[in-house]
Amino acid sequence: MVWQIPENGLTLSLTEPVVILEGHSKRVGIVAWHPTARNVLLSAGCDNAIIIWNVGTGEALINLDDMHSDMIYNVSWNRNGSLICTASKDKKVRVIDPRKQEIVAEKEKAHEGARPMRAIFLADGNVFTTGFSRMSERQLALWNPKNMQEPIALHEMDTSNGVLLPFYDPDTSIIYLCGKGDSSIRYFEITDESPYVHYLNTFSSKEPQRGMGYMPKRGLDVNKCEIARFFKLHERKCEPIIMTVPRKSDLFQDDLYPDTAGPEAALEAEEWFEGKNADPVLISLKHGYIPGKNRDLKVVKKNILDSKPTANKKCDLISVPKKTTDTASVQNEAKLDEILKEIKSIKDTICNQDERISKLEQQMAKIAA
């Protein structure tokens, strides 16, 4: 399901998705928006299939259902969204061209251990993986998709059994590794010189993390030299973890904040499906991030009648528009309910504020007397 968050955030619970995408036969565990094309969404499910959708029309346009023989652990787009890489339970890392529907490169037993792996694309086109050795030691590795025989770098970490989740900042080439069940976050810098993956530091806390979220760069506070913000999931709460670089100067730090990928798409969905590529549209964070006007997602379903064979029965043709009209009226009613609820909520707030003002005025009168 795809949901549209209102302009100034949620004031009411959302109950109506903008569109429901149906195509997987089993549970869907992975979704990832295309980095540069508008309304292109990738999903991967327990049916070992990857589907790429045009959310603007609600259609599945690419279905990669014969490339993975086992469960897919994760999927990552490259910088311009022309390729994806996947890590799978069969211990293979695959680099796939989704539009040609072919595997460009693959590595068997990228990590020999049986526990789950992760694979992500870096900005330079290399692939970074985390996994386990045969002796159950945690490993991280760097690969060149043009030659996957041997890794560029391979490092042993420790013997903990938590899966290492990589979070990557393409602007500073830093990778943060959050182990599931660990109480620490390790971070590394990726460079062109040996040993390629340089350990920087470890953030430690008392409680283990059940999961971790990552704030996009444009959500950070540039005035406080904040370079990363995580959202650590506990059993009953979500805790922000803020990482800053101490600097004496109050001026904008250009080296910490090179131009970063903004929210605006570089391509329309149709252009990408036709074969075009484009790098992300970059924005400066010099004066903080100023959000633009949200573009509402309008799902325009293609007319089913256009694609039906001419020999259809007459009754079939009549029944389709009727269903569309019913759906439209249901959606209108739901929208009306939503607006009425919002009006009521605003009126309640105004009433509460009026009461508060009159109480404060009474207090002022007492003090003045």
- Give the pLDDT mean for 202-211: 93
Quick check: bond before 195 cis, omega within 30? yes
Please answer whether residues 86 and 69 qualify as being in contact, where contact means their C-beta atoms are separated by less than 8 angstroms.
no
Q: Quote the Cα angle for 127-132-133, to 5°.
A: 110
pLDDT at 330: 64
Mean pLDDT of the chain: 88
d(CA 227, CA 170): 12
d(CA 77, CA 95): 10
Does residue 154 lie within any of the structural domains? Answer: yes
Helices assigned H by DSSP within 263-303 = 269-273
pLDDT at 318: 35
Helix (H) or strand (E) holding 43: strand 40-45
d(CA 313, CA 327): 23
Does residue 16 lie within any of the structural domains? Answer: no
Q: Is the pLDDT of residue 292 over 90?
A: no
Closest C-alpha among 96, 179, 105 to residue 140: 179
- Count how many domains the chain has: 1
Question: How does DSSP assign 134-157, residue by residue?
Answer: TTS-EEEEEEBTTB-SS-SEEEE-
- The 10 Å CB-count burial string (b at 16+, else e) for 258-296 is eebbbeebbbbbbebbeeebbebeebebeeebeeeeeee
pLDDT digits (tens, 9 = 90+) for 177-203: 999 899 999 999 999 988 999 999 999
Does residue 348 lie within any of the structural domains? Answer: no
pLDDT digits (tens, 9 = 90+) for 229-243: 999 999 899 999 999
- Give the pLDDT mean for 242-258: 91
- Site of tokens 């068997």: 108
pLDDT at 191: 95
Question: Which domain range does residue 68 map to?
Answer: 28-283
Does residue 10 lie within any of the structural domains? Answer: no
- Give the pLDDT mean for 32-59: 96
Which is higher by pLDDT, 204 or 353? 204
- Cα Rg of the chain (Å, integer): 25
d(CA 166, CA 119): 8
Does residue 350 lie within any of the structural domains? Answer: no
Which pLDDT band, with edges at 50, 70 and 90, does 296 fall under?
Answer: confident
Does residue 259 lie within any of the structural domains? Answer: yes
Number of other CB atoms surrounding residue 4 within 10 Å: 16
pLDDT at 363: 85
The beta-carbon contacts of 274-278 under 8 Å, at least 24 apart in sequence, are 275/99, 277/36, 277/80, 277/81, 277/82, 278/36, 278/37, 278/80
Helices assigned H by DSSP within 194-252 = none
CA atoms within 13 A on the CB side of 165: 18
pLDDT at 307: 44
d(CA 45, CA 92): 17
Please answer whether residues 222 and 285 qualify as being in contact, where contact means their C-beta atoms are separated by less than 8 angstroms.
yes
pLDDT at 205: 92
Positive/negative CA dihedral, 140, 142, 148, 149: negative
Q: Is the pLDDT of residue 175 over 50?
A: yes
pLDDT at 9: 85
Whether this prediction's pTM lies above 0.85 is answered by no
pLDDT digits (tens, 9 = 90+) for 303-360: 544 444 444 433 333 333 434 445 566 667 777 877 888 888 888 888 888 888 888 8
- 10-14, 247-251, 312-316: least confidently modelled range: 312-316
Does residue 20 lie within any of the structural domains? Answer: no
pLDDT digits (tens, 9 = 90+) for 110-168: 999 999 999 999 999 999 999 999 999 999 999 999 999 999 999 999 998 899 999 99
Does residue 306 lie within any of the structural domains? Answer: no
Q: The CATH number of the domain where 211 resides is what? A: 2.130.10.10
